[in-house]
Amino acid sequence: MIAVMLAVMLIHVLIGVPLFLSLMMTAVVGFAFVGFDQMSRIMPQQAFGGIDVFALMAIPLFILAGNLMNNGNMTPRLLGLAEKLVGHLRGGLGHVNVVASVFFAGINGSAVADTSALGTLLVPGMRKAGFPGTYAAGLTAASSLIGPIVPPSIFMILYAAQTGTSVGALFMGGVLPGLVLGLAFMAMNVVYARLYKVGKRDRRARLGEIWRAALSAFPALVAPFIIVAGIVLGVVTPTESGALTVAYVLVWGIATGNLNVAGLWKSLTETAVLTSAVFAIIAISSIVSWQLAYANAPQAFADLLTPLVSNPFLTLLAISTVTFVTGMFMEEVSALMLLTPIFLPVAQLAGVDPVHLGIIITLNITIALITPPMGACIFVAAAVGRVDITRLFLAIWPFILVAVMVLAVIIAVPSLTTWLPSIVF
Amino acid sequence: MLGMGGVWVRGAHMRVGVLEKRVPNPVRRVIVFYQWLLTLGVTAAMAWFSYEYIGRVSFFNTPGLQISRSVPVASLPVGFGLLFFLVLLHGPKAVREAEVEDDT
């Protein structure tokens, strides 16, 4: 049953059918095994049940907050600060790209939005500085992976909604891995800047210049603290924190005149479009998840991995391998929704901390955003950077390798993910 | 769910169009027609199933607003219904894609 469903899914994905419809077709075929008499009852029930989750309401709010910041002139301020901090290093714009992604990660949980916003601004500049276009686009896509790891994160909210894990603990657990990922890409950029013979700026920015840039970017830098502090202190839920961030950005944007009616309208429509696209997948993947549970797929997978559960490291390595390969061929939200219920019991048997598992699955799913042939960030980076997608498919692999090495470090050192949550909670 | 049709018109539903762009034109036309037919079929079925589902949940109230549960559930048949009509209106055309230029 699972093999047939997978084949149907792959065929439909490959011929360009939108993913939620590919999933729906998979579900229809799945009912051939479950029984067509149940189809009319189960399909709407599971689809609505999948999106009728309070925690998921945070997703459109965080997307809206990010869009309001983009359209409210906050992104160039963050870029300005990053440029003052690391722009003087060799291959400076590459470092600016990574550091800006770290800042951007704090206000937007979507890697695709990060790639789109920073790619438009930075890829042309990186080209002028001497980097090949494919490298510039690749670094933009790769550094945007920090977005879903550093709070807030849409993937973490989805994981938490499925497993009952604390969103606050997951958010805190993602901070150190996100920074490690950023440092790894900066180290990589040092090597490539030498390889491409990219020069460096004459002088380091003066303290006064950094201070002025920090003051200008201050409103954007406050947002992550509103999000994290509110949740960590137990003052607000993640959903309320999203609403609070939207209110803060809205008030700041209107009060300072940075956000006009056109910008507000653009933010709302972009949010509605992305939310509709994501929720359609969540709803329909819930039907497929139900079918997989009906077919005892989680138990079968747990049985398959039982020999490994005595060793948490091997268990996580196996989980990561499956997620990585699945992520290459499946859209990220669908993969997360389908795989999490399968992996959770196995990881629990192996004694893996749910926060550690959450960060590993999130990072795995996030890496899938830059793996060919379906990585959404590569498509966006290719489009905004105006580079050939096939050449980018080849150029992206060194970045994937670096991200996988960081993943291996996080698997081997659980305290990277569990230390901060253990202090705070 | 209400916005699915609008997202379809904008070509913003997540999909992989790589193979579709690389096949000969006649094959491409068959693929596009199949996509159109499939979308019409599954959205019509889902709109009907979820319309029936509204009747089954109308006796329950939502915990917060204490309104009939059929109100939020109505987003399913309305959303899939709108998607069905928009797909029908647009006909079997290739789903819109973002413009991509070559790297030079």
Q: Say yes or no: A272 contacts chain B, CB-CB below 8 A.
A: yes
Q: Using CA atoms, how far apart are residues A51 and A280, in angstroms rounded to an integer?
A: 9
First-to-last C-alpha distance (Å) of chain A: 43
How close is the nearest chain A Cα to the Cα of B52, in Å?
A: 8
- In DSSP terms, which residues pair with B68 in a beta bridge? B61
Q: Among residues of chain A, what percentage have pLDDT more than 70?
A: 94
**Cβ distance A420 to A173 under 8 Å?**
yes
A293-332 pLDDT, tens per residue?
777 776 677 677 777 777 888 889 988 988 888 877 676 7
Hey, are the CB atoms on A52 and B12 less than 8 Å from each other? no
Q: Which of A43-57, A97-111, A221-235, A389-403 has the lowest mean pLDDT?
A: A221-235
Tell me what pLDDT residue A323 has: 87
Q: Residue B8: pLDDT above 70?
A: yes
Hey, are the CB atoms on A47 and B73 less than 8 Å from each other? no
Tell me what pLDDT residue B101 has: 41
Q: Using CA atoms, how far apart are residues A324 and A336, in angstroms rounded to an integer?
A: 11
Amino acid at A260: N
Task: Read off the pLDDT band of B100 (50, 70, 90).
Answer: very low
Q: Residue A347: pLDDT above 90?
A: no
B22-76 pLDDT, tens per residue?
778 888 888 888 888 988 999 999 999 999 888 888 888 887 788 888 888 888 9
**Cβ distance A160 to A225 under 8 Å?**
no
Select the more confidently predicted residue: A149 or A51: A149
**Cβ distance A273 to B7 under 8 Å?**
yes
DSSP helix/strand/coil, B68: strand
- In chain B, which residues have their Cβ closer than 8 Å to the Cβ of A24? 42, 46
- Report the residue of A54, A131, A276, A282 to disrupt the B interface, i.e. the one with the largest count of B CBs within 10 Å: A276
Task: Read off the pLDDT band of A248 (50, 70, 90).
Answer: confident
- In DSSP terms, which residues pair with B61 in a beta bridge? B68
DSSP helix/strand/coil, A316: helix
Structure tokens at A234: 């137990």
A227-233: long-range pairs with CB below 8 Å, 24+? A227/A62, A227/A106, A227/A151, A227/A152, A227/A171, A228/A151, A228/A168, A228/A171, A228/A172, A231/A167, A231/A168, A231/A171, A232/A168, A232/A171, A232/A172, A232/A424, A232/A425
Hey, are the CB atoms on A280 and B46 less than 8 Å from each other? no
A203-226 pLDDT, tens per residue?
777 888 888 888 887 887 777 777
Hey, are the CB atoms on A47 and B76 less than 8 Å from each other? yes
Q: Say yes or no: B65 contacts chain A, CB-CB below 8 A.
A: no
- In chain A, which residues have their Cβ closer than 8 Å to the Cβ of B48? 40
Specify the DSSP class assigned to residue B102.
Answer: -
- In chain A, which residues have their Cβ closer than 8 Å to the Cβ of B49? 39-41, 43-44
Q: Residue A41: pLDDT above 80?
A: yes
Tell me what pLDDT residue B16 has: 67
Provide CB contacts within 8 A for A151, sequence distance 6+: A106, A109, A170, A171, A172, A174, A175, A224, A227, A228
Tell me what pLDDT residue B18 has: 64
Q: Using CA atoms, how far apart are residues A365 and A183, in angstroms rounded to an integer?
A: 20
